[in-house]
Amino acid sequence: MRIVLSAVVLVLMSHAAVSACTSMKRLPVFNYKKHASGDADFYGLDPKKGRYIVIQHTGGISKIEISAKRGAKAQYTRAGTGDPLPVTVMVSENLCAQGSTRLFTKKFHARLKEQYSTQFFLPFSASQNKTPAINLAQSVLRATYCPKGEIALNHKFQYVDKSGSNPVVKTAPAARAWGSDPFDEKWIIQLTCSEWRSIQ
């Protein structure tokens, strides 16, 4: 009995610490009609098109950045019959881990009510975190910008690498860690959402 009570107290204390670390409680709960344009152009940096999503999980607080393929509005529609819309989802490490206060502005952020049972290992870039990061990215995308479509990993996402003297088109991994421990590490997940498809 004492063990159970101790566990409950620890959970409540960790939740209190997490809430104190951020301003997430003052954020609006994500509402598709208010926080999205209704088109395939969602992007957190433009409040007319979307929001960054702040969530609470077993390991703390994470910010989820969701962005559709650039120029998607002109290429993808709900009536399209081609390929599903490519979506990039970035999952941040526990933002409370560094002991700093994170202030989230209402203009660019929204939160989800759900608390996810995701647990991450340290360091955040550890390979063991790949599957939890993918599952969390899919769950948040489904709860926000792709509620009616099928979500799948995108193994064909291409980008232009301009690091060399000549730009080169490369295929990105479906899931990869980015950043260096212990600051601002992320998992970048490439997904597709069939709610929008390309115009053929």
Nearest 5°: phi and psi at 75?
Answer: -110, -20
Q: Which helix or strand (DSSP H or E) is residue 14 part of?
A: helix 2-21
Q: What is the pLDDT of residues 166-195, one digit of tens each?
A: 989 999 999 999 986 666 799 999 999 999
> Do the beta carbons of residue 69 and residue 78 sit within 8 Å?
no
CA dihedral sign of residues 158, 163, 168, 171: negative
Using alpha carbons, select from 22, 32, 79, 83 the residue that is nearest to residue 54.
22
Nearest 5°: phi and psi at 78?
Answer: -70, -20
Residues in the chain: 200
Confidence of residue 157 (pLDDT cuts 50, 70, 90): very high
Residue 10 has pLDDT above 50, yes or no: no
Amino acid at residue number 24: M
Q: Cα separation of 198 and 146, whole Å?
A: 15
β-strands 109-116, 52-57 pairing: parallel
Amino acid at residue number 22: T
pTM (2 d.p.): 0.86
Q: What is the pLDDT of residues 53-97, one digit of tens each?
A: 999 999 899 999 999 998 899 999 999 999 999 999 999 998 887
Confidence of residue 13 (pLDDT cuts 50, 70, 90): very low
Both tokens of residue 111? 């939160």
